[in-house]
Chain A
Amino acid sequence: MLSFLHFLLLIALVACASASSDYHERLLLRPLPQSTLLASFNFRSMESSVAFAQQNFRYFPRSFGQILQHAHTKELHVRFSVGRWDADNWGQRPWHGAREGGTGVELWAWIEAQSEEEAFSRWLTLVNSLSGLFCASLNFIDATKTIRPVMSFVPEGDHANSTSLHLLHGTLPHEVVCTENLTPFLKLLPCKGKAGISSLLDGHKLFDASFQTMAIDVRPVCEGAGGSCVLEMEQTVDMVLDIARSKRPRDDPIPRARPIEEIECDTGKGYNSGDTCYPLDKHAEPAWNLTELFGRPLKGACPLTEETGDDANTLCINTPPERTIQVNTTGKYAETRSASDTLRCYKLPIGAEFDLVLPEQQMTTGLVRAEPQLYAARSINGHGQERGSVQAVIKNPSETDAVEFVYLESLPWFMKPYLHTLRARVDTSSENPVRETYYRPAVDRRRGTHLELRMVIPAGSTLTLTYDFEKAILRYTEYPPDANRGFDVAPAVIRLLAPYQSVDKKGIYLRTTSLLLPLPTPDFSMPYNVIILTSTVMALGFGNIFNLLVRRFVGVDEVPALGAGGLKGVIMGKIERLKAKLGRA
């Protein structure tokens, strides 16, 4: 039952272990409650700093490396996320939330520069280059969406001269992450999705998951003082698959009602009959296999990984020991068990397909679900076009430990918070939980609000943070398409400081969901009405004045030629005109 903690330690050790080979990959599968499965893919490629500086790339992708060099970026973190982590059911986040981003795209980097202006211009270079590389709208991260966090992020890597490093952070909460972002992600891998665990990554299944996040982290790692440094690039994909949904065939994904014969009815109910069926819950673990779940087979190991040792075990599954697992492959594989048999790892065959088959099974034991250190939820209150308020509810489930954390909000400029209305209340004590505040107010159309709060939440308490805000009225051209949807507000980032310390420098994070901010939106047909009305008035006015200016008004008696009116006059006029024409000719 304690196995999960062992396992966490193990993961941490794996991540930290200094490398002998330069490329590692590992897929960890972990069944979660309610027939879901967490799949954590982790790929690490290393390049020595010397080789990197000489542009001698082996496992590190060249396209990516050159962008980093060009933008003088020393450490980089990119996140693409869809969906939300259901902490109530699924427990602690994978990697303690350190490899997770808010909904949409999130990016932060340490950039080497002499001044803030230089750092910002290099940041713009970076986001524009990455935008092209990942087919994402990262180029929309401009000054209004960029902040410089003070307490929320610390460098994961070892940096020699940290004084000239500038941390910049930008988010795009409205960005829809999809297959066009996965393809460039896979291209950065040495095996490019053709072999190894990355061959399981299929866009259809990945983006049908209940929660998925893709992360890229680049950091320099140095061994001791003055030791050799390597540049480590870590690519992570975490996804939570709904097993029943993923097992549906791709060409018929409709969840039709199953035939009544297949449904187990509760015959103990008095009304049970041929046409009435109270469905019984199945408590058995569902059956699944990798091919069915990921929509494609696992095509053996990536030949670049270690052949022996712990790093050769690229596929691990974390289940109770009693769970039956059958291996289906034609190649040579090896199984190792660790952490009281709750973790089974497989060394994959090279060049042969590999599949794990788990039959339906009634379980008597389960794994201990690690409870999250904090729960956080955030919502917009109030209604109307003028103002509203934001409420964040943060719960500490621990009965013994008070938790210290940093809460980071990055708000768009058109959402103007009133800082004097900021209230933080803890339900168990009257003490103000806010220890430190960092606030950088917004400047209209130039930068957004940046708010960081260091707070302490006592054991077993709920902290409610509220503040009011005013909605700005935008200019007509500042509204995006589909303006009536509202504007997305980036998720808040929470970083835990104490007492939970991660064993490495990654830190423990969680993020709230993003918010939808409805702004007063004009009726966009109005400008056209105004244009039409103005044009009409202009035309009438212009017509009259032009008439007055150009037309010559002549008294009737001054026109001798037109003395005769009526039909005769008309005929005379025609003849005159004809005469004139003939005369000229």
Chain B
Amino acid sequence: MALLATILALRRDARILKLPPYLSALCIIVGVAWLLVLPLNEYSRNTYVSENALLPGQVHTYFTGSEHNIFRAYRHEVALLVDSSVEERTQKLGDLLRASNLKVATQNYEYHAAGRNISNKNVYAILQGPRADATEAVVLVAAWKNMDGEVNYSGVALVLALARYFKRWSLWSKDIIFLISGDSTSGPQAWVDAYHDQHDPRHVENLKIKSGALQGAVAVDYPAGPWGHRYDKLHIVYDGVNGQLPNLDLFNTAVSIASGQMGIGCTLQRMWKHDDSYQERLRTMLRGMLSQGLGHATGPHSAFIPYHVDAITLVTVGDGWHDEMSLGRTVESLFRSLNNLLEHLHQSFFFYLLLQANRFVSIGTYLPSAMLIAANFSITAIALWVQSGRPATPSANPIATEPSSSASKSEKNKGKEAEKSKDEKKPSMTVAEKDGAIALFPTKDLEITERALFLPLIFVLTTHFLGLLPLYVFNNTPEPYLAHTFLAVSNITSVLPLGAAYLLRQFKRPTAQEMTLIQCFSVLFLGMFLSALATLNFSLAFIIGILSCPLSFVRTSKNKILGTVMYAVLALLNPVMVIQAATWFFGHGVVEILVKAAEGWHVWGLWTQVVVWLVWWPAWFAGSVVVAGGLFA
């Protein structure tokens, strides 16, 4: 009982309020450290194939011999189409597929994003599995142009040659769809949207022929020209739109077939030379996280993943001794594995971080990291809430029977003379009597502090709605104006907190409690949102969490210098500034990124902007206003 009373009384102890910032900092440090230990052998695992039906690399592959001659001819045919119009190109590609006795159809699409007109044409063919009943299908994709804008000569030719070759087999239990998309991102998106009838018929044409439920998709990206190019490794790209990932089994199957059966090395996240050291693993993981956090389409496969169709892209990289036929046999073996599937891929992980082609960290191991970062905000929010409910000057040490330490210090300094004054300084007491027991309380502790919630709530809500403005502006500004718009937005957002704080001071004169509550609510929203986001897109939650950590520690300060320093730190962590710094660091243009983001918004269904402008930016803005408030006090 005594213990309970002590703990209850602790609530009012001033020292307890000093604790949360340290706790928050501890959460952040542990969260970051947690992430850093993940590449170690003790915290990561070797990959393994969970789905027994896949049997990767258990079949002989027969895509050799005269198929190579035909492949070379198709590559020449593809090369001849480079300068022809979209119509001519799709017509010819359709004819080549039709010559293999497949059912061929085309699809036009036209999107508008950032004032650009993205229009092209997909051509696809369906191989009806001889024993299949049109209930399931797997897709082989080759985009006409790859992510770097190069013409995918050998990739397209490989799809044509494989279509001809696959048609001869009778063992397919699923239909196989060969898709040659107009480009690497919007084309597959238009096709897969229309396949599920989730498209806008004004921009995307309906599909004339369809097959069953898609069970998997493999894209090939092999831009070697008509005279070929021998490659060194296969780069397996697996990130989907919004950071969704394909089932790990598909990735493992591809790695196992390529490296185990064909002897082709596999690499990921553009780590061309991976020596499996701690640094390399960490770098791979961080690159993967960055890619996942941005949530952009990384290849033709990305569009499939939001529809729960597991997909990967195989990209050839480097100079080596592997030729197109080994890639063809890899794809053949991969399709034989997919053909074995009785069920949709579901056995293995959907949430993972890859450290290397055969090493991964599963969600159970990495999730606490982002959760701790998110928890730091919740701790701060609770602390600020408690603080806002306290009187302006709390009693120093209400449970101590001794005089407070400050009083005893002054006692020492002033000597015995001070005793009198100490008696005078004794706080006024209230006597309470219950069941014959009498107790004394400091009167101040019985005062009720009311929280003025109206202004803080309105302010925080307005801030979150204010985020809609840049969201709209960036997604709808034509490309030529994007640079100016970005400059304007970055200038405005940098000074906006100062302005807002000045206006608040002028018209409303918010109390310290109201300022605390503003910060409390904004940090509370941030913490709750990030913990929810961490389960969906771990990387985005982690990156935003790290970048907005200072929001847990800044306060309205009477000290102008401290206030200015805090404001400067926050100004640097302005989302707009971060975008600018990041694009500069990675060597991209801001406009290029913004155009991609607008395309993502209009075409791919990208949600990253929403998180940035409606979660991160409002939290930053509220924090900055709170700091700026101190400058005008």
Chain A contacts to B: CB under 8 angstroms:
34, 82-84, 86, 88, 103-104, 173, 207-210, 242, 244-245, 253-260, 262-263, 265-266, 269, 271-272, 275-279, 281, 377, 379-383, 389, 391, 482-486, 488, 513-516, 518, 521
From B67, B197, B226, B308, contact of A257 by CB (8 A):
B67
Tell me if B196 and A383 are in contact (CB < 8 A): yes
Of the candidates B99, B168, B342, the one having the most CB atoms from chain A within 10 angstroms of its own CB is B168
Interface string of B55-78 (1 = CB under 8 A from A): 000000011111111101110110
Contacts of A210 in B (CB 8 A): 128, 130
Closest Cβ of chain B to A391, distance in Å, is 7
Tell me if A86 and B62 are in contact (CB < 8 A): no
Contacts A277-B72, A380-B213, A516-B212 supplied; 4 other A-B pairs, CB < 8 Å: A83-B130, A104-B133, A255-B169, A265-B73
Contacts of A82 in B (CB 8 A): 131, 133
Closest Cβ of chain A to B611, distance in Å, is 22
Q: Which residue of B lies closest to A385 (CB)?
A: B308
Contacts of B197 in A (CB 8 A): 381-382, 389, 391
Alpha-carbon gap, A565 to B132, bound state (A): 80
List 28 interface pairs A-B (beta carbons < 8 Å), by A numbering.
A173-B133, A209-B130, A242-B170, A255-B62, A255-B168, A257-B66, A259-B65, A260-B65, A263-B66, A263-B69, A266-B73, A276-B72, A276-B73, A278-B70, A281-B99, A377-B209, A379-B210, A381-B197, A383-B308, A483-B343, A484-B343, A484-B346, A486-B135, A486-B213, A514-B133, A514-B134, A516-B136, A521-B346
From B70, B73, B134, contact of A271 by CB (8 A):
B73
Residues of B237-271 contacting chain A, CB below 8 A: none
Alpha-carbon gap, A441 to B378, bound state (A): 51
Alpha-carbon gap, A184 to B178, bound state (A): 40
Alpha-carbon gap, A391 to B207, bound state (A): 12
Tell me if B73 and A485 are in contact (CB < 8 A): no
Alpha-carbon gap, A254 to B169, bound state (A): 7
Contacts of A253 in B (CB 8 A): 170
Contacts of A277 in B (CB 8 A): 66, 69-70, 72-73
Alpha-carbon gap, A263 to B71, bound state (A): 13
Q: Majority SS of interface residues in chain B?
A: loop
Tell me if A208 and B170 are in contact (CB < 8 A): yes
Tell me if B307 and A513 are in contact (CB < 8 A): no
Alpha-carbon gap, A256 to B346, bound state (A): 33
Alpha-carbon gap, A242 to B170, bound state (A): 9
From A84, A86, A255, A275, contact of B68 by CB (8 A):
A275
B511 adjacent to chain A (CB < 8 Å): no
B101 adjacent to chain A (CB < 8 Å): yes
Q: Which residue of A lies closest to B136 (CB)?
A: A516
Given A84-B134, A257-B66, A482-B343, A516 contacting B77 (CB threshold 8 A): no
Alpha-carbon gap, A278 to B238, bound state (A): 34
Tell me if A278 and B77 are in contact (CB < 8 A): yes
Given A260-B65, A389-B197, A485-B344, A269 contacting B128 (CB threshold 8 A): no
Tell me if B66 and A88 are in contact (CB < 8 A): no
Tell me if B135 and A488 are in contact (CB < 8 A): yes
Alpha-carbon gap, A398 to B346, bound state (A): 46
Q: Majority SS of interface residues in chain A?
A: loop
Alpha-carbon gap, A72 to B63, bound state (A): 57
Tell me if B73 and A513 are in contact (CB < 8 A): no
Q: Which residue of A lies closest to B132 (CB)?
A: A83
Given A382-B198, A484-B343, A257 contacting B62 (CB threshold 8 A): yes
Alpha-carbon gap, A256 to B165, bound state (A): 9
B505 adjacent to chain A (CB < 8 Å): no
Given A84-B128, A276-B76, A483-B343, A260 contacting B133 (CB threshold 8 A): no
Tell me if B76 and A383 are in contact (CB < 8 A): no
Alpha-carbon gap, A421 to B238, bound state (A): 38
Tell me if A208 and B128 are in contact (CB < 8 A): no
Chain B contacts to A: CB under 8 angstroms:
62-70, 72-74, 76-77, 99, 101, 103, 128, 130-136, 164-165, 168-170, 196-198, 209-210, 212-213, 226, 307-308, 342-344, 346
From B73, B101, B198, B212, contact of A279 by CB (8 A):
B73
Alpha-carbon gap, A88 to B226, bound state (A): 35
Closest Cβ of chain A to B463, distance in Å, is 33
From A262, A281, A513, contact of B133 by CB (8 A):
A513
Contacts of A209 in B (CB 8 A): 130
Tell me if A269 and B73 are in contact (CB < 8 A): yes
Q: Which residue of A lies closest to B60 (CB)?
A: A254
Alpha-carbon gap, A281 to B169, bound state (A): 18
Tell me if A383 and B198 are in contact (CB < 8 A): yes
Alpha-carbon gap, A258 to B65, bound state (A): 8
Alpha-carbon gap, A100 to B538, bound state (A): 53
Tell me if B131 and A207 are in contact (CB < 8 A): yes
Given A258-B66, A379-B210, A485-B344, A84 contacting B133 (CB threshold 8 A): yes
Contacts of A103 in B (CB 8 A): 133
Contacts of A266 in B (CB 8 A): 73
Contacts of A275 in B (CB 8 A): 68-69, 72
Tell me if A377 and B73 are in contact (CB < 8 A): no
Tell me if A518 and B135 are in contact (CB < 8 A): no
Given A256-B62, A277-B70, A382-B196, A245 contacting B131 (CB threshold 8 A): no
Contacts of B134 in A (CB 8 A): 84, 513-514
Tell me if B72 and A377 are in contact (CB < 8 A): no
Given A276-B73, A482-B342, A484-B343, A259 contacting B66 (CB threshold 8 A): yes
Contacts of A271 in B (CB 8 A): 72-73, 76, 226
Alpha-carbon gap, A115 to B203, bound state (A): 57
Closest Cβ of chain B to A114, distance in Å, is 39
Contacts of B198 in A (CB 8 A): 381-383
Q: Which residue of B lies closest to A35 (CB)?
A: B101
Alpha-carbon gap, A381 to B346, bound state (A): 21
Of the candidates A244, A275, A383, A483, the one having the most CB atoms from chain B within 10 angstroms of its own CB is A383
Given A255-B169, A257-B65, A263-B66, A34 contacting B101 (CB threshold 8 A): yes
Tell me if B70 and A279 are in contact (CB < 8 A): yes
Alpha-carbon gap, A83 to B103, bound state (A): 16
Tell me if B70 and A514 are in contact (CB < 8 A): no
Tell me if A377 and B76 are in contact (CB < 8 A): no
Q: Which residue of A lies closest to B342 (CB)?
A: A482
Contacts of A104 in B (CB 8 A): 133
Alpha-carbon gap, A574 to B196, bound state (A): 80
Of the candidates A207, A485, A515, the one having the most CB atoms from chain B within 10 angstroms of its own CB is A485
Tell me if A518 and B213 are in contact (CB < 8 A): yes
Q: Which residue of B lies closest to A384 (CB)?
A: B308
Tell me if B135 and A513 are in contact (CB < 8 A): yes
Alpha-carbon gap, A395 to B502, bound state (A): 69
Tell me if B130 and A278 are in contact (CB < 8 A): no
Alpha-carbon gap, A513 to B134, bound state (A): 6
Given A257-B66, A259-B66, A516-B212, A484 contacting B77 (CB threshold 8 A): no
Tell me if B344 and A260 are in contact (CB < 8 A): no
Contacts of A389 in B (CB 8 A): 197
Tell me if B344 and A256 are in contact (CB < 8 A): no
Closest Cβ of chain A to B607, distance in Å, is 16
Contacts of B67 in A (CB 8 A): 257
Tell me if A485 and B130 are in contact (CB < 8 A): no
From B103, B130, B213, B346, contact of A516 by CB (8 A):
B213
Contacts of A514 in B (CB 8 A): 133-135
Alpha-carbon gap, A485 to B212, bound state (A): 12
Tell me if B135 and A377 are in contact (CB < 8 A): no
Q: Identify the 6 closest CB pairs spanning chains A and B, nearest first.
A: A381-B197, A257-B65, A484-B343, A255-B168, A516-B135, A513-B134
Contacts of A208 in B (CB 8 A): 130-131, 170
Alpha-carbon gap, A255 to B342, bound state (A): 24
Tell me if B99 and A269 are in contact (CB < 8 A): no
Alpha-carbon gap, A272 to B69, bound state (A): 9
Contacts of B346 in A (CB 8 A): 484, 521
Contacts of B64 in A (CB 8 A): 257
Alpha-carbon gap, A271 to B344, bound state (A): 43
Alpha-carbon gap, A271 to B308, bound state (A): 43
Contacts of B133 in A (CB 8 A): 82-84, 103-104, 173, 513-514
Tell me if B136 and A242 are in contact (CB < 8 A): no
